[in-house]
């Protein structure tokens, strides 16, 4: 993809691309010498040959009814509508421009004459509808150079259809970020200067004007070309209001992705154009996926979306077109709410999470020959529901409760720890899978393993009636095992920051600690009689230090420039999937005010304060549970007790009285063994969570003496810790950043859950601040759809079943509005299902 400006040239009516190119040849030569690419295309309407013509001339519009358009919405012109007299159809022009943008674009600017200027204006107007299918195909436009542009005639009311969006018409006004130069002739009688000027002022916010002394023509004298070039150079410089924001974003991206990212900027005077390439590696159906995400930033970014493309050398069987399209749709959906703010980190995160979920089977994409737009969008919607994407635009706590920060929340748990601490074993036990390799040597896990596990909701957040009936609520989470850390990873040792960057999408972390002390910091196994066992407290300390140094040094190496521009400090934190409200709270609590003057920052902003801020940020953004693995080994009991004394036994989870352990004894090997024996039918096993008693009963003879010996060790472990601790660790980790629990029911007396896809969808976990309406929308649309029609009213009770009352749509879901019955104005899907039964 070219780094220099890409320019589309549109001829006037009764011309061709070749005629227009001959006219602009001197201007094109100047532009090409500066690294630009100029593309000429013919208008879609071929005119009838007239006497003396050897080649059919072209135009952009027709003044007759077109009888329908490709977009699916249909052209509004029809033979029975007298109001359409004099209107022209733009369907063919828009389709031609969209196809050109897709095949030869994106384009930074358009140079156009007469009717071509009208077509160019349609492109600019389409960008005002930032979520339509059309505009997503015409991204990146920053400027227009329009010569002899007539006012647009009445147009057919074209509606573009996108299954993800409501139907929208083209906006009359052009977005303010698009700069324009309007050129018109003093002796032009076809398009008078007054009409061109009035048109420019009515449609464009950011317009310049140039009057020449000729008639209806495109002048290309030396002084004309110099003025054109001056305008284009100025239009390719970043918008002043976003220049610093772009610098900060690039600095953050380079710090977070030092190895995966390549950033190339165009040479001056076009340095507002940048290409960011991010290399991705993943695995799906045992196929290694290698691709590059290419983001092309125009000079108007982030006032306009980047153009995004996927580059790879895989075949259809490895990475189908439907999967590629679904990935692009997921990225676009993630960044649509972020117009006007940085969005590349969110785009990269959306892509990596999409591939992670694709790998673990959480989403599926139909094959190309079978896929429809609705099916592809359904796959994207399913991904967006299970993926907690960060969207933030305000430095206040209220942003936490903004629409983009509400909704369904499926936690992602990141596993960290040194090599051979037992992370892969824990991962397999937690996910009931054998994806991860297991061996007692370093770097067994090289790329992140991602799969689904289950965790149990604490009894305080389960309806009291269900507790009395002996019911437990188990919910899914995403578990991500990343290759083991070694001391100095933040400096590049081992596999360096790659380990740490893989954790950016985690909501909480579980540090898998070797409680026995029988492995060194590099992951090498020590003999049981070693005179120098490793202190687990030291392991906890250096793993925490790796995370601290990872963030601290990314910021500290920019510290001098931050002191000169204090407003850049929040951006250095927000790249770690941290909402801006969280960053603002951390900075405020540690005495940083980004609004201060540089002289104040140089005097009062100390490195010690920065260290405090990073520590608080770590606690808030990456709360960490300590899973003391290998708890069955002899040295472990004393080490676990010492760790508990240092870090405490538990923390409060929420306003509810339930508390959460932060130090959990774990024996992942025993959990795996029990799962295997249960599958073989030799053991009955019901795990303990939040105080319930673990049940293990031998039901048949073991096949080997080794299994019999393992059974004795498991019985001893159960007596000591009331379980293996694997599920307890997952559940406690989620509750370190607790969701809001909501139980949609058919009625508030029986608390019978709403039937969802033939099963009881008993509990929804929502982000704090989610409202009753957020729950209704989730149940009325998408993969959780169980309700139909419009919201009429809702009633709710607390977990104890008391306090029945009507609730408003804007009421926040909390402990007192936890069990909800919805009433809508059409029969619900679950009701239809019940009636059929």
Q: Model confidence over 742-797: pLDDT tens digits?
A: 999 999 998 988 865 434 458 999 988 899 998 998 888 755 567 777 788 899 99
Residue with tokens 């969280």: 582
Alpha helices in 48-114 (DSSP H): 91-104
Instruction: For residue 128, tell me if it sits in a domain.
Output: yes
Query: Which CA distances in Å does 28 have to 34, 120, 382?
Result: 10, 18, 47
Q: Assign residue 831 the CATH number of its domain.
A: 3.10.20
Per-residue confidence (pLDDT) for residue 530, from 0 to 100 = 81
Q: Can you give the residue range of the structural domain that contains 450? A: 412-734
Q: Are residues 421 and 535 in the same domain?
A: yes
Q: Is 562 within the bounds of a domain?
A: yes
Question: Cα(306)–Cα(289) distance, rounded to whole angstroms?
Answer: 24
Q: Are residues 569 and 443 in the same domain?
A: yes
The candidate with the shortest Cα–Cα distance to 8, out of 76, 87, 67, 93, is 93
* Residue 798 within any structural domain of the chain: yes
Arithmetic mean of pLDDT over the chain: 80
CATH number for the domain including 299? 3.10.110.10
* pLDDT digits 0-9 by tens, 698-709: 888 888 999 998
356, pLDDT greater than 60: yes
Does residue 397 form part of some domain? Answer: no
Map residue 693 onto helix, strand or coil: coil
Structure tokens at 235: 């239009």
Summarize pLDDT for 140-177 with one digit per residue, the tens: 899 999 999 987 655 544 433 332 232 333 446 788 88
On whether residue 589 sits in a domain, the answer given is: yes
Supply the pLDDT for residue 434.
60
Position 480 pLDDT exceeds 70: yes
Say if residue 249 is in the same domain as residue 231.
no
* Domain identity same for 570 and 433: yes
DSSP 113-126: ETHHHHHHHHHHHH
Which of 12-21, 315-324, 374-383 has the weakest average pLDDT? 374-383
Looking at the fold, whether 82 and 197 belong to one and the same domain comes out as: yes
Model confidence band, residue 137 (pLDDT cutoffs 50, 70, 90): low
Residue 656 lies in a domain: yes
Separation between Cα atoms, residue 223 and residue 749, nearest integer Å: 83
Q: Model-level pTM greater than 0.85?
A: no
Element (H, E) at 129: none
pLDDT tens by residue, 174-207 = 888 899 999 999 999 999 999 889 888 888 888 8
Task: Give the whole-angstrom CA distance, residue 569 versus residue 564.
Answer: 10
Torsion of CA 184, 186, 192, 194, to 10 degrees: 80
How far apart, in whole angstroms, are the C-alpha atoms of residue 704 and residue 698? 14
Residue 134 has pLDDT above 80, yes or no: no
The predicted structure's pLDDT at residue 377: 45
Here the CATH number for the domain that contains residue 67 is: 3.40.50.1820
Instruction: Kindly state whether residue 402 falls inside one of the protein's structural domains.
Output: no
Q: Is the pLDDT of residue 37 over 90?
A: yes
Q: Rounded CA gap, 50 and 425, in Å?
A: 80
Among residues 392, 807, 313, 808, which one has the least CA distance to residue 573?
Answer: 392
- Token duo for residue 407: 């909704």
pLDDT in tens, 437-450: 454 444 444 455 88
Mark which of 186, 220, 236 sits at the end of a domain.
236
In this structure, the answer to whether residues 619 and 725 fall within a common structural domain is yes
Are both 744 and 727 inside the same structural domain?
no
Q: Which of 706, 734, 762 is the last residue of a domain?
A: 734
Q: Do 467 and 573 belong to one domain? A: yes
pLDDT of 817 above 90: yes
In a domain, 407, yes or no: no
Q: Which of 734, 763, 784 delimits the end of a domain?
A: 734
Query: Strands across the sheet with 740-744, in order?
Result: 764-766, 740-744, 819-824, 791-797, 805-807
569 and 435 in a common domain = yes
- Do 450 and 579 lie in one domain? The reply is yes
Q: What average pLDDT score do residues 635-645 get?
A: 92
**Residues 800, 651 share a domain:** no
Question: Of 554, 60, 559, whose CA–CA distance to 258 is shortest?
Answer: 554
Number of domains within the chain: 4
| CB 382 within 8 Å of CB 410 | no
What CATH number is attached to the domain comprising 440?
3.40.50.300
Same domain, 586 and 506: yes
Residue 135's pLDDT is what? 41
| Helix %, strand %, coil % of the chain (to 5) | 35, 20, 45
CB atoms within 10 A of CB 809: 14
141 burial (CB, 10 Å; 0-12 / 13-18 / 19+) is: buried
Share of the chain above pLDDT 70, in %: 78
């Amino acid at each position: 993809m070219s780094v220099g400006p890409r320019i589309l040239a549109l001829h006037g009516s009764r011309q061709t691309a070749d005629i227009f190119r001959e006219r602009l040849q001197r201007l094109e030569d100047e532009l090409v010498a500066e690294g630009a690419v100029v593309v000429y295309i013919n208008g879609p309407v071929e005119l009838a040959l007239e006497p003396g013509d050897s080649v059919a001339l072209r135009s952009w519009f027709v003044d007759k009814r077109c009888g329908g358009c490709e977009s699916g919405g249909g052209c509004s012109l029809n033979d029975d509508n007298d109001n359409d007299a004099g209107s022209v159809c733009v369907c063919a022009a828009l389709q031609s421009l969209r196809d050109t943008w897709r095949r030869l674009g994106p384009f930074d600017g358009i140079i156009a004459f007469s009717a071509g200027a009208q077509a160019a204006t349609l492109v600019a107007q389409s960008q005002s509808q930032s979520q339509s299918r059309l505009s997503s195909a015409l991204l990146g436009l920053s400027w227009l150079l329009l010569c002899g542009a007539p006012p647009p005639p009445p147009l057919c009311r074209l509606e573009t259809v996108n299954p993800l969006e409501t139907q929208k018409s083209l906006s009359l006004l052009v977005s303010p970020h698009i700069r324009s130069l309007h050129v018109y002739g003093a002796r032009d009688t076809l398009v008078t200067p007054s009409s061109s000027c009035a048109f420019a002022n009515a449609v464009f916010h950011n317009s310049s004007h140039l009057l020449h002394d000729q008639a209806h023509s495109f002048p290309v004298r030396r002084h004309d070309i110099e003025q054109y070039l001056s305008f284009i150079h100025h239009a390719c410089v970043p918008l002043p209001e976003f220049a610093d924001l772009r610098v900060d974003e690039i600095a953050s991206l380079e710090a977070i992705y030092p190895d995966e990212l390549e950033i190339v900027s165009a040479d001056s005077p076009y340095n507002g154009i940048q290409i960011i390439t991010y290399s991705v590696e993943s695995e799906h159906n045992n196929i290694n996926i290698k691709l590059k995400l290419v983001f092309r930033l125009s000079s108007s970014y982030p006032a306009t979306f980047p153009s995004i493309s996927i580059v790879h050398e895989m075949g259809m069987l490895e990475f189908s077109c439907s999967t590629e399209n679904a990935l692009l749709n997921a990225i676009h959906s993630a960044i649509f709410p972020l117009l006007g703010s940085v969005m590349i980190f969110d785009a990269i995160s959306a892509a990596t999470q999409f591939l992670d979920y694709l790998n673990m089977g959480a989403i599926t994409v139909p094959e190309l020959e079978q896929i429809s737009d609705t099916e592809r969008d359904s796959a994207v919607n399913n991904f967006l529901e299970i993926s907690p994407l960060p969207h933030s635009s305000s430095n206040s706590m209220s942003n936490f409760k903004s629409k983009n920060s509400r909704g369904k929340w499926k936690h992602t748990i990141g596993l960290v720890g040194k090599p051979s601490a037992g992370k892969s074993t824990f991962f397999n036990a937690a996910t009931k899978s054998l994806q991860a390799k297991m061996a007692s040597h370093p770097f067994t896990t090289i790329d992140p393993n991602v799969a689904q596990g289950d965790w149990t909701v604490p009894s305080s957040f389960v309806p009291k009636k269900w507790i009395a009936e002996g019911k437990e609520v188990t919910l899914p989470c995403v578990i991500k095992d990343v290759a083991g850390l070694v001391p100095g990873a933040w400096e590049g040792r081992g596999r360096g920051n790659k380990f740490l960057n893989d954790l950016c999408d985690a909501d909480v972390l579980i540090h898998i600690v070797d409680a026995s002390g029988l492995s060194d910091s590099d992951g090498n196994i020590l003999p049981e009689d070693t005179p120098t066992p490793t202190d687990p407290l030291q392991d906890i300390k250096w793993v925490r230090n790796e995370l601290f140094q990872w963030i601290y040094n990314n910021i500290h190496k920019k510290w001098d420039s931050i002191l000169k521009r204090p407003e850049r400090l929040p951006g250095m934190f927000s790249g770690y999937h941290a909402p801006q409200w969280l960053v603002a709270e951390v900075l405020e609590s540690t005495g940083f005010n980004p609004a201060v003057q540089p002289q104040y920052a140089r005097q009062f902003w100390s490195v010690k304060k920065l260290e405090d801020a990073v520590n608080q940020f770590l606690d808030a953004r990456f709360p960490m549970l300590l899973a003391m693995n290998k708890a069955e080994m002899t040295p472990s009991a004393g080490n676990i007790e010492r760790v508990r004394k240092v870090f405490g036994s538990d923390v409060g989870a929420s306003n509810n009285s339930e508390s959460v352990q932060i130090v959990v004894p774990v024996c992942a090997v025993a959990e795996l063994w029990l799962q295997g024996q249960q599958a073989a039918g030799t053991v009955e096993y019901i795990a303990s969570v939040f105080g319930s008693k673990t049940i293990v009963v031998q039901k048949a003879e073991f096949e080997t003496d080794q299994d019999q010996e393992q059974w004795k060790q498991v019985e001893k472990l159960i007596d000591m810790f009331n379980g293996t601790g694997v599920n307890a660790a997952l559940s406690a980790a989620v509750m370190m950043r607790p969701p809001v629990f909501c139980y949609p029911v058919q009625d508030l007396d029986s608390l019978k859950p709403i039937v969802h896809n033939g099963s009881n969808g008993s509990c929804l976990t929502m982000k704090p601040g989610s409202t009753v309406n957020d729950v209704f929308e989730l149940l009325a649309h998408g993969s959780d759809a169980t309700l139909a029609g419009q919201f009429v009213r809702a009633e709710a009770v607390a977990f104890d079943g008391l306090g029945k009352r009507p609730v408003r749509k804007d009421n926040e879901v909390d402990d007192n509005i936890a069990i909800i019955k919805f009433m809508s104005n059409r029969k619900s899907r679950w009701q239809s299902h019940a009636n059929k039964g």
